Amino acid sequence: MKTVQEIRDAIARGEWRKLTAGLAPGFIQANLVILPKQHAFDFLLFCQRNEKACPIIDVCESGRVAPPLAGPKADVRVHVPRYRIYRKGELLDEPGSILEYFNDDMVSFFLGCSFTFEHDLMAHGIPVRHIELNRNVPMYITNRECRPAGIFSGPMVVTLRPIPENRVAEAAAITAKHRKAHGAPIHVGDPAALGITDTQKPDFGDPPEIRPGETPVFWACGVTPQTAVSRAKLDLVITHAPGYMFITDVPDTFEW
Amino acid sequence: MKTVQEIRDAIARGEWRKLTAGLAPGFIQANLVILPKQHAFDFLLFCQRNEKACPIIDVCESGRVAPPLAGPKADVRVHVPRYRIYRKGELLDEPGSILEYFNDDMVSFFLGCSFTFEHDLMAHGIPVRHIELNRNVPMYITNRECRPAGIFSGPMVVTLRPIPENRVAEAAAITAKHRKAHGAPIHVGDPAALGITDTQKPDFGDPPEIRPGETPVFWACGVTPQTAVSRAKLDLVITHAPGYMFITDVPDTFEW
User: In this structure, are A212 and A240 located in the same domain?
Assistant: no
Q: Is residue B119 part of a domain?
A: yes
CA distance B82 to A125: 56
Name the β-bridge partners of A235: none
- Does B48 touch chain A if contact means CB atoms closer than 8 Å? yes
Q: Are residues A162 and A66 in the same domain?
A: no
When divided into structural domains, chain B yields a total of 2
- A59 contact B CB<8A: yes
B162-178 mean pLDDT: 96
Separation in Å, CA B97 to CA A221, B59, B115, B238: 42, 19, 23, 11
- One domain, residues A59 and A135: no
Q: Nearest by CB to A56, which of B40, B48, B149?
A: B48
If asked whether residues A107 and A176 sit together in one domain, one would say no
Confidence of residue A253 (pLDDT cuts 50, 70, 90): confident
User: Mean pLDDT throughout B131-152?
Assistant: 95
Asked whether the beta carbons of A157 and A229 are under 8 A apart, the reply is no
Number of Cβ within 10 Å of residue B176's Cβ equals 12
Average pLDDT for B211-235: 96
Per-residue pLDDT band for A89 (boundaries 50, 70, 90) equals: very high
Whether B256 is covered by a domain: the verdict is no
Residue A256 forms part of a structural domain: no
Clarify whether residues B141 and B53 are in a common domain: no
Residue A89 sits in a domain whose CATH number is: 3.40.1640.10
Instruction: Answer for the pair B234, B39: CB distance below 8 angstroms, yes or no.
Output: yes
B 130-149 residues inside an 8 A Cβ radius of A: 147, 149
Q: Which residues of A touch B177 (CB under 8 A)?
A: none
| B142: amino acid identity, one letter | T
**CB-CB under 8 Å, A147 with B61:** no
Looking at A2-6, A71-75, A243-247, B19-23, which range is the least confident one?
B19-23
HEC letters along chain A: CCCHHHHHHHHHCCCCCCCCCCCCCCEEEEEEEEEEHHHHHHHHHHHHHCCCCCCEEEEECCCCCCCCCCCCCCCCCCCCCCEEEEECCEEEECCCCCCCCCCCCEEEEEEECCHHHHHHHHHCCCCCHHHHCCCCCCEEEEEEECCCECCECCEEEEEEEEEEHHHHHHHHHHHHCCHHHCCCCCEECCHHHHCCCCCCCCCECCCCCCCCCEEEEEEECCHHHHHHHHHHCCCCEEEECCCCCEEEEEECCCCC
A23 found inside a domain: yes
Q: Are residues A77 and A87 in the same domain?
A: yes
Q: Kind of pairing, strands B56-60 and B187-188?
A: unpaired
Judged against a pLDDT cut of 70, whether residue B83 lies above it is answered with yes
pLDDT by residue (tens digit) across B85-101? 999 999 999 999 999 99
Please check whether residues B187 and B106 belong to one and the same domain: no
Beta strand A83-87 with A237-240 is antiparallel
CA distance B7 to A255: 39
pLDDT at A108 over 70: yes
Please list every residue in chain A whose beta carbon sits closer than 8 Å to the beta carbon of residue B68.
147
* Residue B1, pLDDT above cutoff 70: no
Q: Give CA–CA dist B72/B249, Å, rounded.
A: 8
Mutate to test the interface with B, among A39, A45, A52 (most CBs of B within 10 A): A45
Strands B214-220, B187-188: parallel, antiparallel or unpaired by DSSP? antiparallel
In the predicted model, is pLDDT for residue B214 greater than 90? yes
C-alpha B177/C-alpha B144 separation (Å) is 23
Contacts (Cβ under 8 Å, ≥6 apart) of A190:
none
Same domain, residue pair A83 and A119: no
* Domain shared by A102 and A161, yes or no: no
Question: Are B40 and A41 a contacting pair at CB < 8 A?
Answer: yes
Q: Could you say which of B42, B59, B107 has the minimum Cβ distance to residue A48?
A: B59
How close A203 comes to chain B (CA, Å)? 28
The answer on pLDDT for A1 being more than 70 is no
Render pLDDT for B6-37 as a digit per residue (tens, 0 to 9). 999 999 999 999 989 889 989 999 999 999 99
What pLDDT score was predicted for residue B242? 87
Are B77 and B9 within one domain?
yes
pTM for this one?
A: 0.93
Dist CA B31 CA A25 (whole Å): 41
Chain segment A43-67, per-residue pLDDT in tens: 999 999 999 999 999 999 999 999 9
The answer to whether residues A148 and A211 touch, using CB atoms and an 8 Å cutoff, is no
Flag whether B215 is in a domain.
yes
The residue count of chain A comes to 256
Judged against a pLDDT cut of 70, whether residue B194 lies above it is answered with: yes
B154 to chain A, minimum CA–CA distance in Å?
A: 17
In a domain, B75, yes or no: yes
Gap between the Cα atoms of A77 and A10, Å rounded: 14
A127 & A46 share domain: no
Contact A45 B44 (CB under 8 A): yes
> For the segment B61-72, what is each residue's pLDDT rounded down to a tens digit?
999 999 999 999
Q: pLDDT (tens digit, 9 = 90+) per residue, A202-233?
A: 999 999 999 999 999 999 999 999 999 999 99
ipTM of the predicted structure? 0.89
Residue-level pLDDT at B68: 96
CA distance A122 to chain B (A): 26
State whether B135 and B211 are in the same domain: yes
- CATH of residue B167's domain is 3.30.2040.10
Chain B nearest C-alpha distance from A207 (Å): 31
B195: domain range?
115-224
Give B254 or B211, the one with higher predicted confidence: B211
Average pLDDT, chain B: 95
